[in-house]
A and B are shown apart, each in its own frame.
Chain A
Amino acid sequence: MKKLQYILLSGLLLMAGACDKKLDIEPLQSVSETVALDSDANVKLVLQGAYDNLSKDGMYGGNLFRDAELLGSDGEVRWVGTFSDPRDIFNHEMDAGNTDVENTWSIAYQTINSCNNVLSALDIVNADDRDRVEGEAKFIRGVCYFELTRLFGKPYVAGGSNSQLGVPVITTATRGVTEASYVSRNTVNEGYEQALSDLLRAAAILPEDNGVLASKYAAMGMAARMYLSMGKLQEARDMATAVIGSTQYSLLPNYEDLWNQDDDTDEALFSIQVSPQDGVNELVTFFSIPEFGGRDGDIEIQNSHLALYDPADTRLALFYDGNGAMRTGKWKNQYKNIPIIRLAEMHLIAAECDARLNGNGALQLNPVRERAGLAPLNQAFVEDVIQERRRELAFEGHKIHDIKRLGGTIDGISFDAPEFVFPIPAREIEVNKNLQQNEGY
């Protein structure tokens, strides 16, 4: 009996003693912050993560394009879906609680933080790859600040001081929450300066060919887009023609082949990679119909848009009748890549600059026209180029930005009205008293 008592009691003690170590349990699905930035290979994985963030639904996975088209619709598309947040964007009746707006804001800053983390750890990246890693991080960060500033700030005024409020510009990695985390908004000028300097640095150090990742020409293309939006025509034209002249890229003979591709085409400077394995193509979700993996056909193309095309225009054939309305064929397969910037836009930028600077943009415009089955023009005025942009780049996220750049109207309301500026998300105003809300929210 005494033996039994001993066994039981010592068993009890053993159990108590042996268990303490059992409380040391590490996660199996995540790694700690220090590990993630401690080696060349890991820093590069964090950089890949920045691309992953850039490809999310709130960014180039879809909403940046969708919202630019909805907000600047001006009767060319109609939102008929049930989601109220895109509907409010479409009706330019957003409120600060709009969850899609909030999503874009949050994911953009997550992406920026990924980039800042990479940039903070450049010294442990292999020297051979250091420029490439820095360039890619700066490309992504620059793109984020460009998109954020033009959505959340009042329109950039070419040649102006642009002291209107943009978004907070943060260039250091977040390690904890401190006083400094409660940032204020920088001006539109400061946001553009940051974006442009990131893109120019990226263009200077990135390789010419970088697979599906950001290359020198992707950065130059994005810089050309920025320069145009800032009214810096000379710089925009130089950048665009440099890309065109690189011979890395060519206009595809057939417009239709640009869309719904597994691999980047020869025309694409930079695309978001989508496959059944990963990535998301939210443009298909909203522009397409269930048959192709869309919702219920939430966005219908209106006659006022279709009327822009000449009947001979091959781009017209891309539209299709689905679920009782016309749809764009650009976004028709949920597992295909999303081209973000492509060579035709370079031609259009160069053409517009030519037209504005020299009065004739025909040289750069005609390749785009001819590819669409249209006769070349001898004389292309600014308005010809602008009209061509509306057709060539339709539903690729340019609409509201072009209207703002060109000083047009939407539903009869002036481009610089407060309702075309995204609200600073309510949750952000709530947690950070240093942020000033936009007019009208």
Chain B
Amino acid sequence: MKQLCTTILLCLMVVAGAYAQRTISGTVTDQSGEALIGATVAVKNTSVGAVTDVDGRYTIQVAKSDAILMFSYTGYATQEIAVGAGSVVDVTLVENANVMDEVVVIGYGKQIRSTLTGNIAKVNNENIKGMPVVSVEQAMQGQAAGVNIETVNGKVGAAARVRVRGVGSINAGTEPLFVVDGIPLSKDSRNTYGAGLNPLADINFNDIESIEVLKDASAKAIYGSRGSNGVVLITTKSGKSGKSQIELDLQYGFSQPTRKREFLNAAEFVELFTEAANNSDDIDGYAYDDPDSWTTFVQGRFFRYSGRNDDWMSKIDKTNWQDEAFQDASLYNANLSFSGGSDKMRYYFSANHGLNEGILVANHLTKDGARLNLDFSATDKLKMGVNLSVSRTNTRTVSDDNAFSTPMQLVALAPITPKRDEKGELYDRPVTTYYNGLIDVEDATRKVFSNRTLVNVYGDYSFTQSLALRVEGAANLYNVRDEARFGVRTDAGNASNGFGESVFAGATDYNTNAVLRWNKAFDKNDLGFDLGTEYFESTNNRTAVFGEQFPTDELKTLASAAIITGGTSTEEQYSFLSYFGRARYNFDRKYLLNASARVDGSSRFGDNKRYAFFPAFSAGWVLSEEAVLQDNPTISFLKLRASWGQSGNADIGNFRALGLYAPGSYNGQSNYLPEQIANPDLTWEKSTEVDFGLDWGLFDNRINGEIDYYIKNTNDLLQQVPIPATTGYKTQWRNIGELENRGWEFTVNSNNLVGEFKWTTSLNLALNKNKVVALADGQDIIDDGGTRYANVVKVGEPIGVFYGAEYAGVDPANGDAIWYTNATDGSDPRATTNDFSEANYVVLGSPLPDLIGGISNSFSWKGVSLDIRFQGQYGNEIHRSGDVFMSCNACWFDNQTRDQLDRWQNPGDVTNVPEARLGYSNGDIGRSSRYISDGSYLRLKNITLAYDVPTKWMRGVRSLRVYATATNLLTFTKYEGWDPEVTTDFLAGNTVYGIDFYSAPQPKTIIGGIRIGF
């Protein structure tokens, strides 16, 4: 090796000594004549280079008259120009349509797209920059094929669920591994109060250079036991040598709900509930004026709900409670960045500040952050760098969906109820039907403060041209503090003179890895090996204290609590130790081969099964490099790919293999409670995946795309298998069962029009079919047996499928809700019954979409640009779980949706809404198709109109863009609820999909912005 180094050094010296210097200068511009700042100019086959300045000018020394200059700039085709005799070389670079030469980030490395043998979706900075959303997942929604992203509801900072190629597990994690600059970040919400917040909300996506989603086994197997659900690699920006560039982006806008629902007004409320009471009296044989009758009871309630008076008789609307749940929300964001550097040192610095008000009352979030990315070339051989970011997110949360205090549950209150009493105080029970959540707005504080420091330090040393070592160390210091304080009037503080809780949750993750790279090109062969090791350790702790009996609501901290009712601290650790390797070979960029393997060990499993091995192989054949196709005028690129590999899922929580007793407390004394039954054989979930792909480009790659077909089989599913509760335990963790996802993915990118008027289109579509192949021996279904929700896991069906009674509408003769018996005993399955228990359960639909996709069109002309992006999904159903209360034909006092006015009233009425019967169950059982709706939608996710103001006459201003952006502006759907992009936030689990339970609709946001570059 030393010999090799010496040889190279000698060569360099020889080259240097031979210089007979001559200066060349010139300007680099784009097609429109704009100067390109920071373009690289290099003398071919030498180490001599220069960078263009703010006017696009460069000067460079060349040694020989036959020297060739190479001009390159990101996004533009590299040009080579022979110097010749002159001293001025001006160049116009042409935008690069050849996506095949794009550099793609892969696991522990980079690769040129045309030589990829795996499937990787890439989202670039320009596709997400400036989006008026909170988190990076929201920004990339609908932009990567086969990546299903859903914000669970419209609360600000709400968790976002990401599924790559379908749902990959029943009980273990289903989120892809998010890796930001080399450090894996957990997506678990860490806040205690209110709905779970998205921990990635603090990542400033304007800093992101690119997001690569590793989808097939050959791309992700290098992440071994953590790769099964896909890997999302986030790379932040690094500086480019050249003059400093400063960019300031300011935006301001408004949000409102995508949709509201219609509820009964006062007159309708009184009418429907009086009718419901009369009907119940008819059943029970009461005269309506009997003091014990339902009608008398209802009138008593009306009296109460009016504020203990007879105002209800005048049927005047007192409060529109739905409107009270929402607020006029505004938002602003400011983003500032500096970047630049010399050829020795490059920097990127950014700072951001923003406020996002949610559409729900008292729900808002502020974000602040700063980032510094530095890269040094310490010597010719040693590069070092550091990426450092600090960020803070403060959120004023609201309760989860299943709390009377959550704003959306205000809709249950009666329209005849005034908001405030004569003293101006908010009414509470018994005047309000349920707890008035607005009291929480006035008298409760629920704040979540989260802070994150992410740091990554690397050194990259080239021993020789072929051999290099990269060592990386990274840390993620994340802590979340909840401060909750409930005043005496609030539900939580009512019985205790105020209640307060302070919780500190911290996560400290370290990740170190070292990768040795060897690469050699000879003749037409290109061979590479990577060898690496990685260690990851995570420590999570939580400290909480709660107290009550406060002297006044004004005192917010627990220092003023007379009784400290509890306190706790917990800590958990887990770790991974891994070794991995990869071999790459290609011949003439025509025949491509790739193999990778990883050995992973983790603390999460017992001694016997602690290590596992994850291999992958893939191959590609670039047909367009074959002689037959080489000069084909139409087909410019054609590649066939195939891959096979295995990856794992270890996201199951800690210590699942052990038989455990947990400490409890009774009578002020500690005790042990049996907590978990042991399974010493517990190990990873394994996914085996094959992928066949075709990458194509037509007309000089003006139109290009990918087609993929994949089959992903996940077996040894980590499952909490139900066991007889008579054992004292309800479940045991076992590796059992099999799940399959198979599907197609299509992407098309097209430069429809080039030239002065530009039009580009990009489309992605993904079809995925999820199927539970097997559960435990002899087990056909996992069903909690409840009647409120309908999601189950059933063999042969997609995970989380809705399974319940098939609603047959209303018996026109008597107004009873009826269901199809779906009898299996030979009698007519289409016969109907009004006895729910006689209706056999059948599959009622799937909450998982058959098809997801997005299409964006960009138009630009003379500095004016218009981007229109649609996103949608098709074929999924939604369970309107909250409608069991608000659309139950006046079964109880919750205000009803207006469609309940279509109730059955007289024999012969044909309707789907049964007769209203107060206090009686007439069709209000959740587990029926009555409450299941088509959840398909197509949404105008993003539309941006921008104008790049010419800056030639503005001194010092490099660029100036004025823009307006709207998200979720239009939604096309048949869904009857608030919004079809929904999953309630109070239920957890992989079967919990498509549940709408007082879930806030998504916000519709319109902003205006200005972006100035200096």
Pairwise interchain contact B728-A114, C-beta atoms closer than 8 A: yes
- Among B429, B654, B671, B781: residue with most chain A CB under 10 A: B671
Q: Nearest-CB distance from A398 to chain B (Å)?
A: 25
Q: A4-B461, A45-B671, A49-B664 are in contact. Are A334 and B533 (CB under 8 A)?
A: no
Q: A53-B673, A168-B726 are in contact. Are A276 and B666 (CB under 8 A)?
A: no
Pairwise interchain contact A23-B673, C-beta atoms closer than 8 A: no
Pairwise interchain contact B469-A31, C-beta atoms closer than 8 A: no
A254 within 8 Å of B (CB atoms): no
Q: Nearest-CB distance from B725 to chain A (Å)?
A: 4
Q: A109-B726, A273-B667 are in contact. Are A27 and B654 (CB under 8 A)?
A: yes
Of A182, A293, A296, which is within 8 A of B724 by CB? A182
Binding site for B on A (CB under 8 A): 1-2, 4-5, 8-9, 11-12, 15-16, 19-20, 22-25, 27-36, 42, 45-49, 51-53, 55, 82, 84, 91, 93, 95-97, 99, 102, 105-106, 109-110, 112-114, 116-117, 168, 170, 174, 176-177, 181-183, 212, 273, 275-279, 289-294, 296-297, 323-324, 334, 425-428, 430-432, 435, 441
Of A53, A84, A277, A441, which is within 8 A of B787 by CB? A84
Q: How far is the CA of A2 from the CA of B3 in the complex (A)?
A: 11
Pairwise interchain contact B725-A15, C-beta atoms closer than 8 A: no
Q: A32-B659, A291-B495, A296-B434 are in contact. Are A51 and B563 (CB under 8 A)?
A: no
Q: How far is the CA of A91 from the CA of B892 in the complex (A)?
A: 14
Q: Nearest-CB distance from A256 to chain B (Å)?
A: 20
Residues of B within 8 A of A19 (CB): 535, 575, 577
25 contacts between A and B (CB under 8 A): A9-B469, A12-B514, A15-B514, A23-B577, A30-B676, A31-B661, A32-B658, A32-B660, A33-B678, A45-B671, A45-B672, A49-B661, A53-B673, A82-B892, A95-B836, A102-B785, A177-B677, A177-B727, A273-B666, A277-B566, A290-B429, A323-B429, A323-B430, A428-B725, A432-B726
Q: A15-B535, A99-B786 are in contact. Are A28 and B572 (CB under 8 A)?
A: yes
Residues of B within 8 A of A24 (CB): 603
Q: A52-B673, A323-B430 are in contact. Are A5 and B727 (CB under 8 A)?
A: no
Residue of A with least CB distance to B654: A27
Residues of A within 8 A of B429 (CB): 289-290, 296-297, 323
Pairwise interchain contact B658-A27, C-beta atoms closer than 8 A: yes
Q: How far is the CA of A426 from the CA of B803 in the complex (A)?
A: 15
Residues of B within 8 A of A297 (CB): 429-430
B548 within 8 Å of A (CB atoms): yes
Pairwise interchain contact B837-A95, C-beta atoms closer than 8 A: yes
Pairwise interchain contact B784-A28, C-beta atoms closer than 8 A: no
Q: How far is the CA of A4 from the CA of B723 in the complex (A)?
A: 58
Q: How far is the CA of A324 from the CA of B659 in the complex (A)?
A: 50
Of A113, A170, A276, A428, which is within 8 A of B674 by CB? A113
Q: How far is the CA of A47 from the CA of B670 in the complex (A)?
A: 11
Residues of B within 8 A of A91 (CB): 921
Pairwise interchain contact A52-B671, C-beta atoms closer than 8 A: yes
Q: How far is the CA of A422 from the CA of B471 in the complex (A)?
A: 64
Q: Nearest-CB distance from B286 to chain A (Å)?
A: 13
Pairwise interchain contact B494-A276, C-beta atoms closer than 8 A: no
Quick one: which of B1-21 are within 8 Å of A by CB?
Answer: 1-2, 5
Of A292, A324, A430, which is within 8 A of B722 by CB? A430
Residue of A with least CB distance to B892: A82
B285 within 8 Å of A (CB atoms): no
Of A8, A45, A116, A291, which is within 8 A of B469 by CB? A8
| A-contact bits for B710-730, CB 8 A (1 contact / 0 none) | 000000000000111111111
| A-contact bits for B429-444, CB 8 A (1 contact / 0 none) | 1100011000000000
Pairwise interchain contact A22-B537, C-beta atoms closer than 8 A: yes
Residues of B within 8 A of A431 (CB): 722-724
Residues of A within 8 A of B463 (CB): 5
Pairwise interchain contact B430-A212, C-beta atoms closer than 8 A: no
Q: Nearest-CB distance from B674 to chain A (Å)?
A: 6
Question: Sorted from nearest, which 6 A-B pairs have the closest CB atoms?
Answer: A113-B728, A48-B671, A426-B785, A293-B495, A33-B659, A97-B785
Q: How far is the CA of A182 from the CA of B727 in the complex (A)?
A: 9
Residues of B within 8 A of A23 (CB): 575, 577, 601-603, 610
Pairwise interchain contact B672-A42, C-beta atoms closer than 8 A: yes
Of A52, A174, A427, which is within 8 A of B677 by CB? A174
- Among B548, B565, B785: residue with most chain A CB under 10 A: B785
Quick one: which of B208-261 are within 8 Å of A by CB?
Answer: none
Q: Nearest-CB distance from B494 to chain A (Å)?
A: 5
Pairwise interchain contact B725-A106, C-beta atoms closer than 8 A: yes
Pairwise interchain contact A52-B664, C-beta atoms closer than 8 A: yes
Pairwise interchain contact A30-B724, C-beta atoms closer than 8 A: no
Residues of B within 8 A of A212 (CB): 667
- Among A112, A168, A431: residue with most chain B CB under 10 A: A431
Q: How far is the CA of A30 from the CA of B658 in the complex (A)?
A: 10
B579 within 8 Å of A (CB atoms): yes
Q: How far is the CA of A63 from the CA of B455 in the complex (A)?
A: 52
Pairwise interchain contact B573-A25, C-beta atoms closer than 8 A: yes
Pairwise interchain contact B786-A49, C-beta atoms closer than 8 A: no
Of A82, A110, A183, which is within 8 A of B885 by CB? A82
